[in-house]
Structure 1
């Protein structure tokens, strides 16, 4: 009998040990960031369903298993040496404070689309170290000019996404400042303040699976200065943006990221992204499929120097995704508060010519339209 009790207590001690381990917050470090060669797929939607964003603290359970995507994209991470033009030199081993360890080709940022800067490709360059994961610059591919590097004003003014080790209740901040000048076309300067707060840990569930996660909320205050064709520029203070990010071990990018904007005193969800498997596009959305006549698109065909204009079924948030017939994404463009009419600048398509499919996601439903660009 004594041996039975001893075995019982040993089993109880083992169970207690596992229970304590399961309730220990994870620690995020450099090894949990992207690696060269990673192809990380995300699903995207404009509607957040599940646990309220206000739920935070220790040992939480966040359930977002009901998320339904309307679009998917893949983030490709490469070595610096595989980027075009002079970029491997200025961001490579000779880059000094701008040296990067990894690069990511991205769709055009909204500010560049809105400014109409003639850029066909954008690369983001990052430096991963034992202490930080920071963005050290951009590379822009511009017709007739070639690859143009874009640097931050100094190393102290680079955008520090995370500081390691990243642990629960950690708070940090960074200020960043960069500018890009395309002679005779446009000048853009962006100043940003980022404040990170690791405000929760626990178990996260999405359609991708269930994981132990650390939640980090990044609050961004951004001010843009844009000058076109040599004219006096205008400074624009963007709405305060928050990025709610759930990080896990060995995942590269957040398992879930919810982006919000503060509009008229209200926090509005503008985009939801989460790690996912490949899903066929026709079954991505449970929202109504709108008839083609719900969205008017003109001119058609559209010239390479012309903006594309849309008449929408209702005001509100709109997500636009253009793909070629092979399924390659030309751009993702989100308008948090669109009116009944919207404009997509010609620069969004870059140098693309031919037939493209434009997916228009509104609060009332989804419509896919065929576009000819010549």
Structure 2
């Protein structure tokens, strides 16, 4: 049985000392992670050190988001050759996922075309986790771009006291969609500045604390009435305070701040959690399935092709995740224990949830 969320592993009150993170402790393809998010400008992001306890267990979530790591078998168009199995080794992606790494809101004010989706490509290897490029989707047409300089998000193996520095550079030429160029420069300085126990509403984890400082400079070149110009896109200096554990393949806790004039302002707080649909958009798309109760299979029909099907129990723990392939899909539930579950159907525009018995 594939159990993607393992909160009870983290509930032990025992401390097992310092941990070491390897590539096996980071996300792979075809996985789903749920994060609860909130806004708390008073949260303590500064305190850290050796054998420290960070207690964020009283946080109250305001919304949720999901991270779906899509395998390269789902690539289409030029991205297959840029990041698929035929790509050079440094650019063979482990997975890709929708991201907000590029400042789309600011860029959209300069570009006369809508950017519907931005995907980031990740490579996971024994020596590190790297960002290797992007894919922009506009009007259903995708354009892939390799990073000329590959940024290392995590240098591995990782333990307390480690530090590393990395730069990333990506040139996104939007032709033939539009005569414009988007350039991204990133400089990352990361320090593993703490180890100990972090407590969240999701559980208690032995963790490393990593402090990333990310200095990004973006600019766009486009033509207007026959004249070309470069327009800088302001991106504030960003700090990410991240707690990672060997019992979970994504951050169990993350705090993001923007630094302006030497002062940091908290802009985002999130932690790994069970699914509860809080803040996610409920879709009006029709979903039908049979039989209920189910024995070995669920036959599911959807109004539009779903992105993913997720089966969660009454506590919100994820027991299965299946990629959507068509409007009519058969889901194997033979390995589920008897009980009450919810089938959560994730569309690009929201989700629909239906209860069933096994």
With the length of structure 2 as denominator, give the TM-score of the two structures: 0.69
Q: 1:225 to 1:174 in 2, by over 3 A?
A: same
Q: Which of 54, 64, 88 is matched with 1:62 structurally?
A: 54
In the alignment, structure 2 segments of 5+ residues that lack a partner are 1-12, 287-305, 308-348, 351-358
Give 1:152 deviation, angstroms.
1.1
Q: Which of 143, 164, 188 is matched with 1:148 structurally?
A: 143
Question: Aligned Cα RMSD in Å?
Answer: 2.6
CA contact (8 A) 2:17 2:206 kept: no
The structure 1 segments of at least 4 consecutive aligned residues displaced by more than 3 Å after TM superposition are 107-110, 228-231, 321-329
CA distance in 1, matches of 2:246, 2:156: 13
Give 1:67 deviation, angstroms.
1.3
Give 1:84 deviation, angstroms.
2.5
In the alignment, structure 1 segments of 5+ residues that lack a partner are 1-18, 285-320, 330-355, 358-374
Q: 1:228 to 1:111 in 2, by over 3 A?
A: farther
Q: 1:186 to 1:75 in 2, by over 3 A?
A: same
Could you say which residue in structure 2 is the equivalent of 1:256?
Answer: 253
Instruction: Confirm or deny that 1:82 pairs with 2:36.
Output: no
Looking at CA atoms only, which structure, 1 or 2, has the larger radius of gyration? Answer: 1
Could you say which residue in structure 1 is the equivalent of 2:123?
Answer: 127
Instruction: Confirm or deny that 1:267 pairs with 2:267.
Output: no
- Deviation by residue 1:46-65 (Cα, 9 ceiling, x = unmatched): 21565x22211100000001
CA contact (8 A) 1:48 1:67 kept: no
Instruction: Confirm or deny that 1:200 pairs with 2:194.
Output: yes
CA contact (8 A) 1:98 1:151 kept: no
CA contact (8 A) 1:103 1:123 kept: no
Could you say which residue in structure 1 is the equivalent of 2:98?
Answer: 106
CA contact (8 A) 1:77 1:104 kept: yes
CA distance in 2, matches of 1:126, 1:99: 9
CA contact (8 A) 2:75 2:84 kept: no
Equivalenced residue count is 269
CA distance in 2, matches of 1:238, 1:67: 28
CA distance in 2, matches of 1:48, 1:213: 23
CA distance in 1, matches of 2:170, 2:231: 16
Q: How does 1:91-102 map to 2 (within 5 A)?
A: 91-102=83-94
Give 1:159 deviation, angstroms.
1.2
Instruction: Confirm or deny that 1:160 pairs with 2:156.
Output: no
Q: 1:46 to 1:229 in 2, by over 3 A?
A: farther
Structure 1 counterpart SS, 2:157: coil
Structure 1 counterpart SS, 2:251: coil
With the length of structure 1 as denominator, give the TM-score of the two structures: 0.66
Could you say which residue in structure 2 is the equivalent of 1:309?
Answer: none
CA distance in 1, matches of 2:170, 2:25: 27
CA contact (8 A) 1:77 1:103 kept: yes
Give 1:162 deviation, angstroms.
0.5
Give 1:323 deviation, angstroms.
6.7
CA distance in 2, matches of 1:223, 1:111: 11
Give 1:279 deviation, angstroms.
2.1
Could you say which residue in structure 2 is the equivalent of 1:238?
Answer: 235
CA contact (8 A) 1:90 1:98 kept: no
CA distance in 2, matches of 1:100, 1:126: 9
Could you say which residue in structure 2 is the equivalent of 1:45?
Answer: 38
CA distance in 2, matches of 1:273, 1:173: 25
Q: Which of 275, 279, 284 is matched with 1:278 structurally?
A: 275
CA distance in 1, matches of 2:81, 2:150: 19
CA distance in 1, matches of 2:58, 2:223: 47
Give 1:89 deviation, angstroms.
2.2
Pick which of 247-256 and 231-240 moved more: 231-240
Q: How does 1:11-26 map to 2 (within 5 A)?
A: 22=15, 24-26=17-19
CA distance in 1, matches of 2:223, 2:250: 38
CA distance in 1, matches of 2:47, 2:207: 14
CA distance in 2, matches of 1:64, 1:325: 35
CA distance in 2, matches of 1:245, 1:49: 17
